[in-house]
Amino acid sequence: MSDGMKISHLFPVGAPPLAAGAKNNPKPQQTGGFKDMLDAKVLKFSQHAEVRMKQRGIQLQPESLTKIMNAVDEAESKGAKDSLIVMKDIAMIVNVPSRTVVTAMDGKQMQSNVFTNIDSAVILS
């Protein structure tokens, strides 16, 4: 029972672990904490957004989530803070810095609606 158990290591996306023989490479500098690393590429949903999605029967498939996360990345690269993301018959307001979906609506709620407090829009096909 004294055998140790090894649990896999976490690495940032795009940064593979160093090879065992790579002793001359400098250690990568840590820019943020563990929580920052976990939050970096995660799309969160506020309680309000979760309630609206449930009320409106909005269900997202993994492919859709990937597209939305890529749209948030694109909005972030342009300096957006609060973005409207429209995909097919779904619209979401996303706080870009926190990567949090604030609210969501389906095609019925999008019609004749005015979107306020946004500084950008991303239209996905």
Q: Going residue by residue through the chain (125 aa), what tens digit of pLDDT does each one get?
A: 445 444 444 444 444 444 444 445 545 555 566 666 555 678 999 999 999 999 999 999 999 999 999 999 999 999 999 999 999 999 999 999 999 999 999 988 888 788 999 999 999 98
Tokens of 51: 């309630």
At residue 1, what is the residue type? Answer: M
Rounded to an integer, what distance in angstroms lies between the CA atom of residue 2 and that of residue 6? 13
What does the angle CA 58 – CA 62 – CA 64 come to, to the nearest 5 degrees? 60
In degrees rounded to 5, what are phi and psi of residue 106? -100, -175
pTM (two decimals) = 0.67
